[in-house]
Amino acid sequence: MKYLIVLSVLGLWLSSAWAEPALPELDEFIDEMVTEHQFDRQELNSLFSQVEVKDSILKAISRPAEKAKPWYEYRNIFLDQARIDAGVRFWQQHAQTLAKAEKEYGVPAEIILAILGVETRFGGNMGSFRVIDALSTLGFRYPPRSPFFRKELQQFLILTREEGMSPAEPVGSYAGAMGLGQFMPSSYRAYAVDFDGDGHRDIWTNRADAIGSIANYLKRHGWQAGEGIVYPTQSKDGTLPEALIERGLKPSISREEAKAAGLSLAKLPASANQLTVFSLTQRDGESLWLGEPNFYAITRYNHSRMYAMAVFQLAEAIRTQYERQQ
């Protein structure tokens, strides 16, 4: 009997010690999940003994396109004809669902489509990493943002328990984003919706749920139905209004402030009075833009002005071609 007890204790110690060099502070994380969220310790030990730390994940997160490329190169990644064509086909196939989402949440169909196009090419590329591997690698081996990814790992484990999924199976991006709309686990739990009423929130294979979830996310992050998004502007003296740009993406600039700084309001609707000012690098210099709250809402999906502009311009291109074919 003593021999069996020793073996059992040794087995538990080894299952914990196996992962410790690869996943520092894993024991503390498991303790937290057991104490605060009533997970089974042995099940978590078994799960994390299967986790693979991926160097490719650490390399990918260190060089995101938003930071590595200027706008005129970044834009070309997403504004290609194949993606526009795919967006039109997706619209034709799911027109009723997109119309329902637009009516319920106020988000135009083309914006939903553009996010699907930028994120996963309408489901064609939803990622190839196991979510448990991605979040564990970044949560324990990427110090700059380990608290964020460890929290997402916690949310992922809770999510899979809620939805009755095996945590070892879901696949997503190198950052742990999941499904057609690439929701992080906390966003999945907070904003994913059962848009077709089948009793499940499935953003991997259910196009209706993916459409409704993206629209709900934008609505919950301040999307204003019927309002504009972004407009080009120019500086009268040709210089960048650095003081306004430095105020960030959240709209806090009145049209009077923008005008006083020498920016043209010729393209701006008369109703627009809550603005952000930003620039994008073109081949021949910087272009200036005025964003409304809806532009800011898109940046809540990905905190990048280039991402939001890519979504906006892809949306315009998809709508133009869709209407031409109607």
Whether 163 sits among the annotated catalytic residues: the reply is no
* Sign of torsion over alpha carbons 20, 17, 160, 116: positive
Burial class of 125 by CB neighbour count within 10 A (0 to 12, 13 to 18, 19+) = exposed
Contacts of 25 (CB under 8 A, 6+ apart): 140
Burial class of 3 by CB neighbour count within 10 A (0 to 12, 13 to 18, 19+) = exposed
- In angstroms, how far is CA 52 from the centroid of its own chain? 23
C-alpha closest to that of 191 among 227, 236, 161, 223: 223
**Other CB atoms within 10 Å distance of the CB of residue 316:** 16
C-alpha closest to that of 64 among 181, 145, 152, 169: 145
The residue annotated as part of the active site, out of 119, 257, 286, 323, is 119
Q: So which residues are the catalytic ones?
A: 119
